[in-house]
Amino acid sequence: MRPKLAISLGDPTGIGPEIAAAALSLAVERADVAVFGHWPALRRALERNGNRPPVEVVDALDGPPPPGSAIAVHTGHGDRPFDAPCAAAAESQIRAVSAAVDAVLAGDCDALVTGPVSKAAIAAVHPGFKGHTEYLASRCGLGPDDVTMIFASRTLAVGLIATHVPMRRVPETVTVGRYERTLRHLLEVLAGLGKGPRPRIAVAALNPHAGEGGLLGSEEADVLAPFCVAKRGAVPAEIVGPIPADAVFRDALGGAYDGVIAAYHDQAMIPLKLAGFGRTANVTAGLPFVRTSPDHGVARDLAGTGRADPSGMRLAIDIAIDLWAARCGEERR
């Protein structure tokens, strides 16, 4: 059974339309596709890359797409591409995401892949917007602590305790409840990616040298070590840690672990992005539907240059479809 995949373009003045255009041929091979966003931006991106390999894109008003094509759902704001960031372009971003979420929640689409957005641009027209993760949780009637940001590849998945949180507030997020949630969601993603019956999961320490016996911080002794001990034998995984972050990611990227629980955003993202852009997909676990995204931003400096790398979008599409298939299999059983 083919899923119905919703793809939101993201920032029409960034590389979102280009990477979506380049990834559409992969998407329509495995799914029926609806692209939500600024149609003039997508049309220009298709023209610039010569629509290679070719994929037919039809307007939503023209009815259901023929096999091997995609529907484009235009979210308004004129018939010309944006030449620079502006309020209308920012509004287009949030309209695209909103319309795509509407389609998934209504059952018209099965899974969601989001292109990169400019959080600052959207927040300027919609105050309070922090990012896809928080927005999607809110749209589903969930709180920030009900979902987990996970960066997944074919070899490693990393779950974050704190996402878009100022550094001064990160220690407040180190609670048993958040580690329980993140482990639960990480296990679901690893199972969906076929990581075997007992994946090996490491817990990264918050403080340097894992607190150095309390000399450099108490979170490891107070929360992380007891959590790891409690979970050994209690969940279908091998739990190790807490391990200093500089060592755990070196070993994880070398294949020692299937998953890592990271304390905060940059603790995970710096080593993952040093390992290579586009090698992980951002997964929002805990939603009633599958959502993925590339692991990078809008990259306006690359927009229109022909140098935007679509590998992250392709991976996000592939992983979204795989997680959807795994979820359907669980429901059928």
Counted domains in the chain: 2
Whether residue 109 sits in one domain with residue 157:
no
90 and 222 co-located in one domain:
no
63 & 120 share domain: yes
Does residue 153 sit in the same domain as residue 275?
Answer: yes
Whether 303 and 255 share a structural domain: no
Omega prior to 242 cis, within 30 of 0: yes
- The model's pLDDT over 50-61, given as tens digits with 9 standing for 90+, comes to 766 667 777 776
Is 237 found in the same domain as 210?
Answer: yes
Q: What is the pLDDT of residue 49?
A: 73
CB 202 within 8 A of CB 261: yes
Cα 255 to Cα 262: distance, rounded to the nearest angstrom:
16
pLDDT reported for residue 276: 66
Residue 116 sits in the same domain as residue 193: no
Between CA 332 and CA 228 the distance in angstroms is: 33
* pLDDT score, position 47: 86
Nearest alpha-carbon partner for 131 in 122, 140, 143, 142: 122
**260 and 321 inside one domain:** no
Predicted TM-score (pTM) of the model is 0.89
**Which residues, given as ranges, of the chain have pLDDT below 50?**
330-333
The domain in which residue 327 lies consists of: 1-143+290-333
Q: Are residues 133 and 155 in the same domain?
A: no
Three-state SS letters, 317-333: HHHHHHHHHHHHHHHHC
What is the model's pLDDT at position 205? 94
Q: What is the pLDDT of residue 330?
A: 47
Are both 203 and 251 inside the same structural domain?
yes
